Amino acid sequence: AAGVIQSPRHLIKEKRETATLKCYPIPRHDTVYWYQQGPGQDPQFLISFYEKMQSDKGSIPDRFSAQQFSDYHSELNMSSLELGDSALYFCASSSPTGANVLTFGAGSRLTVL
Partner 1 sequence: GDSVTQMEGPVTLSEEAFLTINCTYTATGYPSLFWYVQYPGEGLQLLLKATKADDKGSNKGFEATYRKETTSFHLEKGSVQVSDSAVYFCALSYGGATNKLIFGTGTLLAVQP
Chain residues binding partner 1 by CB under 8 A are 4, 31, 33, 41-45, 48, 50, 55-56, 58, 90, 92, 94, 99-107
Q: How far is the CB of 61 from partner 1 (least distance, A)?
A: 17
In the complex, minimum distance from the CB of residue 4 to partner 1, in angstroms, rounded to a whole number: 8
Of residues 13 and 109, the one with the C-beta less far from partner 1? 109
CA–CA dist 104, 34 (Å, integer): 9
SS3 content of the chain, % helix, strand, coil (to 5): 5, 50, 45
Q: Which is nearer to partner 1, 46 or 112 (CB)?
A: 46
Residues 6+ apart with CB under 8 A from 42: none
Q: Give least dist CB 71 to partner 1, A.
A: 21
